[in-house]
């Protein structure tokens, strides 16, 4: 730990760190959203589908977030559960224009929420109703209804309309998630 880190820690201004999972079906916009959250000089010019998972870091005002960008392809979704134990938050990205696969997304969400590593934990879940710019997209209220979010009673959750290409709605969602993560970390420190 360097001198500046020690001084920052002493004054309580050190950026805390949190691990989050970024999940959702393939082609929902997970990687595009993460790319938008990175600093301008760290953004990729071309986005390619994630195979397996990738790890990205970005900073908010209060946290440094390590995001595990999980592939949404069917054959890779079983990888998600390997990361449940160590995550402090989840971003679930839904393609709001893909009404046909919304049922599959809902099934994946239900499996995630009920998994033994998450079932008894109050892990905050941020939903991005992504691709709001597309003609066939439905509102975030409709996505919430189709995904059955009102049935989630044991975890804090929030849904935000978003456009991963322009960044619209992303910061609102990340601010909510940051506040949830900070509250959770503060509660753990008190114990």
Question: Encoding tokens for residue 169?
Answer: 């709605």
User: Is there a catalytic annotation at residue 73?
Assistant: yes
**Looking at the DSSP assignment, which residues form a beta bridge with residue 94?**
129
Question: Encoding tokens for residue 77?
Answer: 């979704």
Which helix H or strand E contains 30, and what residues bound it? helix 30-37
Residues with Cβ within 8 Å of 143's Cβ and at least 6 positions away in sequence, in order, are: 94, 96, 102, 127, 129, 159
Among residues 73, 82, 116, 180, which one is catalytic?
Answer: 73
Strand runs (DSSP E) across the chain, as ranges? 16-23, 53-59, 63-70, 89-95, 125-130, 157-161
* Nearest Cα residue to 63 out of 190, 183, 191, 166: 183
Q: So which residues are the catalytic ones? A: 73
């Amino acid at each position: 730990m360097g001198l500046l880190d020690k001084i920052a820690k002493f004054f309580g201004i050190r950026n805390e760190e949190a691990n989050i999972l970024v999940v959702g079906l393939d082609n929902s916009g997970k990687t595009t959203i993460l790319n938008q959250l990175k600093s301008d000089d760290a953004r990729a010019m071309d986005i390619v589908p994630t195979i397996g998972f990738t790890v990205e870091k970005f900073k908010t005002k209060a946290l440094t977030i390590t995001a595990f960008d999980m592939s949404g392809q069917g054959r890779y979704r079983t990888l998600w559960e390997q990361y449940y134990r160590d995550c402090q938050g989840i971003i679930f990205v839904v393609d709001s224009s893909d009404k046909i696969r919304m049922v599959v997304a809902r099934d994946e969400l239900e499996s995630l929420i009920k998994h033994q590593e998450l079932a008894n934990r109050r892990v905050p879940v941020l939903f991005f109703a992504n691709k709001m710019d597309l003609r066939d997209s439905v509102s975030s209220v409709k996505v919430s209804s189709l995904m059955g979010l009102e049935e989630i009673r044991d975890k804090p959750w929030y849904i935000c309309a978003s456009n991963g290409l322009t960044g619209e709605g992303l910061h609102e969602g990340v601010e909510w998630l940051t506040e949830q993560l900070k509250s959770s970390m503060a509660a753990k420190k008190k114990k």
